Amino acid sequence: MHVSLKGFLLMFLGLLRTLRMRLDYGVWLVPRGSVVYGPNWL
């Protein structure tokens, strides 16, 4: 199955968006000293 470049990019961006939302929620679950804490994801 051939997927157009535009369709692939849209799918990729959607995946990134959900992943980023998950990371934003995950920020509250990690210790304050962790590398992934807070401002690094903004």
Report in angstroms the alpha-carbon separations of 19 from 1, 4, 23, 25: 25, 22, 6, 10
Domain containing 25 equals 5-41
pLDDT at 36: 54
pLDDT at 17: 83
* Tally of structural domains, the chain: 1
Cα gap 28→12, rounded to integer Å: 25
pTM beyond 0.85:
no
pLDDT value of residue 42: 46
pLDDT in tens, the chain (42 residues): 577 889 888 998 888 888 777 666 666 555 555 555 555 444
